[in-house]
Amino acid sequence: MDNILSVLVFFPAIAGLLGFVVDKKSARAYGITVAAIEFLLSLWLWFSFDTSNAGMQFVEMIPLIPDFGVNYYLGVDGISLFIIIMATLMTLIGMMSMSIEKDVKNMIITLLFLEMTMVGVFVALDAIIFYLFWELSLVPMLYIVGAWGGPLRVYAAIKFFLYTFMGSLVMLVGMLFVAYVYHNLTGVWSFAITDWYALVLPVNYQLWLFAAFFLGFAIKVPMFPFHTWLPYAHGQAPTIGSVILAAVLLKMGTYGFVRFSLPMFPDASVMMITPIAVISIVMIIYTAMVAYAQKDMKQVIAYSSVSHMGIIMLGIFALNSEGIGGSVFQMLSHGIVSGALFMLVGVIYDRRHTKLMSEFGGLASVMPKYAVIFGIMLMASVGLPLTIGFVGEFLVLLGFYDVSPIMTILAGTSIIVGAVYMLSLYKKSFFGPITKEENKTLKDLTPKESWSLIPLVAIVIWLGVYPKPVLDPINKSVNAMLVFMDEKAITAEAKEMIKVPHAATKTGEVK
C-alpha cells in the first residue's frame, strides 16, 4: 500500500459519513469495527516501517495549489509513528468502553471525524494541511463537550474552542510569514515543513516566529498560565471526550514543538530554554499542588495532566537525545495512563453519578478488580520503574540534568508531589471503611469495562519492561533531528547547547 497514510487519514472520515445510514442500534458495533480496522492499519504501518531509516517514510505528495506551494504532503517518522498508533488505539478503546446512551450514533460519527483530524495532524508535512487538521480537530471536540457534557458544558466548550482557536490564529500568521520569508530567499513558495527545515533564519526572525508558534502550541499543551480551559473542559466533557482530549489532543501541542519549533528555530529554542523550563517547573509543582486541593476525582486527573505535560515540555527543551526521546515516549505514556485514568473515573461516575472523593471510601473492598487496575495506573502515573510512566520521566529528568542540575531537582519534585496527590486520591476513594450505604452494593468492573482496560494495563507493563521497540525508532529520528539542528544553528551558544549523541556522530547519521 503506497498511500497507507491517506487511507489512515480518510478511512475513518469516509466510514463516518457512511455511518449516517447505519441503523441506530448497530451504530456502536459499526464504530468499534471501523476503529478496530483503523487501529490494525496503524499497526500495519508500524510493521512496514523501516526502523533503520530516521527520515520521513510513506511520503505522499500531491500538489494542491502549485502557485503557492501548497501540497497534500504526508509522511511519518519515528516521532509521529507511535503517536498515531496511540491515537487510533485510544479511539478504539474509548469507543469500546463508552457508556453514553444518548445519541450514540452521533457520537460515533463525531469520534470518527475526530480520528481523521488527529491522524491528519500527526502525518501532515505541509503546514497548511497541518493547520487544517489542527483547527478541524476543535469542531468534533466542541460538539462532544457541548452536546454530551455536564451542566456547564456550553461555557466549557466555548472557552475551549475560542481559547485554543485564538492561539492557533497567531500560529497561522507565523506560518504565513515563514512561507513569505522562504519565498523571498528562494523565489518559490513552499509550505512543506521539510523545505522550511532547510531555511536558516536570522535570530530575531527566529524569536518572533518562535513566539507566534509558541502561542498556538502552548495553549494546546496547555502550558501555565494558559491552562485554565482544561479543567473546565475535563470537568464538563463526557468520559470519552476527556479520554481523547487528554490522550491525544494535548499531544498536538508538544508534538508541534518537536516538529516545528525545534528544527526550524534552533537558536531561538536554545535562547528560550530557561523561560520554558521555568514555566515547566511551575506547571509541574503548581498544578500538582492544585491537583492535591481538588475534591473531585476527575479534576485531580485533569490537573495532573498539566503537571505531566510540564515534564514533557522540560524534556523537549533539554535539547539532547535523552530528553527529547524521553519526552516523546512520555507523550505516549501520558496518553495511555491518563486515558485509562479518565476511563476509570468514568466507571465510578456511571455507577454513582458523582466524582466527589468524599462520596467514596473503601471502594477497594467492594470493587477489588477496579481497585487493582486503578492501582496499576496510579503507579504508572507516579512513574514506578517497570511501568510505562518511569521510562519517559526518567529520561526527561536525566536529559535536563545536563542543562541545569538545579532546575532538574526542582522538576524532579514531580515524583514527590505526584505521589502526594495520587496516593491521597487513592486513600480517600479506595481505602478506609465503607461509609456510604450506596457504595456497599456497587458492582465491580463489567466485562465491557474490563476488556477496555486490560489491554491498557498490558501496554503499561509491556512498555515499562521492554520499551525498546518504541524507544529505538524514536531515538533514531530524534538523533537525526539533533544532528541537523546542530548543523543549522547560527549562534555559538546554540551549537554548544544542542547535544548530538556520540552514537549518532559515530555512524555518521546525517540526513
Partner 1 sequence: MENLVYIALFAPLVSSLFAALFGMSPKKQFVGVVASVLLGISLVASLMLASYVYTTGNTIHVTMMDWISAGDLHIPFGFVVDQVSVTMMSVVTLVSTVVHIYSNGYMDHDKSFNRFFSYLSAFVFSMMVLVMSDNFAGLFIGWEGVGVCSWLLIGFWYHKEDVSREENPSISPSWAANEAFIMNRIADLGMLVGLFILYWNVGSLQYDEVFAALPHLSGSILNAAAIFLFIGAMGKSAQFPLHTWLTDAMEGPTPVSALIHAATMVTAGVFLVIRANPLFSMTPDVSYFIAALGTFVAFFAASMALVNRDLKRIIAFSTLSQLGYMFAAAGLGAYWIALFHLAAHAFFKALLFLGAGNVMHAMHDELDIFKMGGLKKTMKWTYIYMGLASLALAGIPFFAGYFSKDAIIETAWNEGTLVLWLILVVTAGMTAFYSFRQVFLTFEGDERYKQYGIHPHEMYKYVLIAMSPLAILAVIAGFFKEPFEHFVTALLPEYHMSEHTHHIAWLLGIVVLVFAVGGIALAFKKYYKGLKRDEALESSWYYKLLANQYYIPDFYEEFISKPYAMISEKMWNSVDMRIVDATVDGIAKFLYETGDGSRKMQTGNLSNYLNWMAVGAVLLLVVAAVSAAVIG
* Range in contact with partner 1 (rule: CB under 8 A) among 70-78, 83-91, 135-143, 289-297: 289-297
Give the contacts of 461 (CB within 8 A, at least 6 positions apart). 376, 386, 387, 388
369 binds partner 1 (CB under 8 A): yes
Residue 149 grid coordinates: 457534557
Q: How far is CA 253 from CA 9, 114, 173, 450, in A?
A: 19, 16, 17, 31
77 near 194, Cβ under 8 Å? no
Q: For residues 482-501, which are near partner 1 according to CB under 8 A? A: 501
Angle of helix 104-123 relative to helix 127-136, nearest 10 degrees?
160
The Cα 286–Cα 415 span in angstroms is 13
Instruction: State in angstroms the smallest separation of the CB of 14 from partner 1.
Output: 37
Residue 382 grid coordinates: 507516579
Q: Which is nearer to partner 1, 210 or 430 (CB)?
A: 430
Question: Which DSSP category does 320 fall into?
Answer: B
Q: Which is nearer to partner 1, 214 or 329 (CB)?
A: 329
Q: Which is nearer to partner 1, 71 or 477 (CB)?
A: 477
The Cα 352–Cα 369 span in angstroms is 17
Instruction: State in angstroms the smallest separation of the CB of 60 from partner 1.
Output: 30
Q: Which of 430, 445, 473, 498 binds partner 1 (CB under 8 A)?
A: 430
453 near 459, Cβ under 8 Å? no
469 binds partner 1 (CB under 8 A): no
The Cα 323–Cα 313 span in angstroms is 10
How many chain residues touch partner 1 (CB under 8 A)?
A: 69
Question: Which DSSP category does 436 fall into?
Answer: -
Q: What SS3 state is found at 310? A: helix
Q: Which of 117, 304, 439, 479 binds partner 1 (CB under 8 A)?
A: 479
277 near 354, Cβ under 8 Å? no
Q: Could you tell me where the DSSP H helices lie in 124-245?
A: 127-136, 138-148, 153-186, 193-197, 203-220, 229-236, 239-244
Q: For residues 193-252, which are near partner 1 according to CB under 8 A? A: 224-229
Residue 141 grid coordinates: 471536540
150 binds partner 1 (CB under 8 A): no
Q: Which of 209, 276, 379, 459 binds partner 1 (CB under 8 A)?
A: 379
Amino acid at site 464: G
* Range in contact with partner 1 (rule: CB under 8 A) among 80-88, 352-360, 414-422, 483-491: 414-422
Closest CA to 363 of 351, 376, 381: 351
Q: Computed over its alpha carbons, how large is the radius of gyration of the chain?
A: 22
Q: Which is nearer to partner 1, 112 or 331 (CB)?
A: 331
Residue 350 grid coordinates: 456511571
402 binds partner 1 (CB under 8 A): yes
Place of cell 512496514: 48
283 binds partner 1 (CB under 8 A): no
Q: Which is nearer to partner 1, 23 or 441 (CB)?
A: 441
The reply to whether omega before 222 is within 30° of 0 (cis) is yes
The Cα 307–Cα 287 span in angstroms is 6
Q: Which is nearer to partner 1, 28 or 308 (CB)?
A: 308
Q: Which is nearer to partner 1, 268 or 384 (CB)?
A: 384
416 binds partner 1 (CB under 8 A): yes
Q: Which of 32, 36, 176, 415 binds partner 1 (CB under 8 A)?
A: 415
Instruction: State in angstroms the smallest separation of the CB of 480 from partner 1.
Output: 13
305 binds partner 1 (CB under 8 A): no
142 near 155, Cβ under 8 Å? no
Q: How far is CA 81 from CA 106, 395, 473, in A?
A: 29, 20, 9
292 binds partner 1 (CB under 8 A): yes
Instruction: State in angstroms the smallest separation of the CB of 466 from partner 1.
Output: 7
Q: Which is nearer to partner 1, 111 or 258 (CB)?
A: 258
Amino acid at site 91: T
Q: For residues 320-359, which are near partner 1 according to CB under 8 A? A: 320-322, 325-326, 329
389 binds partner 1 (CB under 8 A): no
* Range in contact with partner 1 (rule: CB under 8 A) among 30-38, 244-252, 334-342, 466-474: 466-474
Instruction: State in angstroms the smallest separation of the CB of 230 from partner 1.
Output: 11
* Range in contact with partner 1 (rule: CB under 8 A) among 82-90, 171-179, 272-280, 403-411: 403-411
Q: Which of 26, 40, 446, 472 binds partner 1 (CB under 8 A)?
A: 472
The Cα 323–Cα 129 span in angstroms is 29
The Cα 88–Cα 80 span in angstroms is 13
304 binds partner 1 (CB under 8 A): no
Interface residue list for partner 1 (CB under 8 A)? 159, 162-163, 224-229, 286, 289-290, 292-294, 320-322, 325-326, 329, 362, 364-365, 368-369, 372, 379, 384-386, 390-391, 394-395, 397-399, 401-402, 405, 408-409, 412-413, 415-416, 419-420, 423-424, 427, 430-434, 465-468, 471-472, 474-475, 479, 501-503
